Amino acid sequence: MALALLATGSAQGAETEQVTDFGPNPGGLQMYRYVPDDLPTGMPLVVVLHGCTQDARAFDDESGWTDVADSVGFALLLPEQPAANNPDRCFRFYDDRHNRRGEGEAASIAAMIEALLGDEDTALDRSRVFIAGLSAGGAMAVAMLASYPELFAGGAAIAGVPYGCASTSGDAWLAAQRW
């Protein structure tokens, strides 16, 4: 079904915007959000995490998430890993300093979610927050589901690896090859 949704398109009116004041950011991530024009209150939030060598906008351009948000009706959060954190722009799902509750990148993503949920202009449904990611983003999505289960109604990893299967970047590459 997700692939069918990605194949649909609509005229995009709203713009993806960077948010710099979302709260604590111990992981040093960047936040982008997309809220379709005239989104009714009480709609879902979908968090999407890019893979290595991508950024939030390239991931959206290549996947069509904003088009799906327009046609289905949900807000979109696109966290971004800057090259200053990781030259390949991979989320550090394997590093305990970034993949656990209250730590690094996981805490930054949770703060982004809370900022969007607390935005009175969007008035999103806290019980309908979903997360998905591709590759390293998929593995980070799994880490978020494990670390913050109360935040999410569901999630999906596309070409990701299980939580806790790697503790170094080298282990992460090997784990991906094994799976």
Give the residue numbers marked as catalytic. 135
Any idea how long the chain is?
Answer: 179
Residue 26 has phi, psi (to 5 degrees) of -65, -20
**How far is Cα 2 from Cα 113, in angstroms, rounded to an integer?**
22
Rounded Cα–Cα distance for residues 77 and 44 (Å):
11
3-state secondary structure 73-106: HCEEEEEECCCCCCCCCCCCCCCCCCCCCCCHHH
Beta-carbon contacts of 55 under 8 Å, excluding residues fewer than 6 positions away, are: 80, 81, 89
The per-residue DSSP string of 121-137 comes to: TT---TT-EEEEEETHH
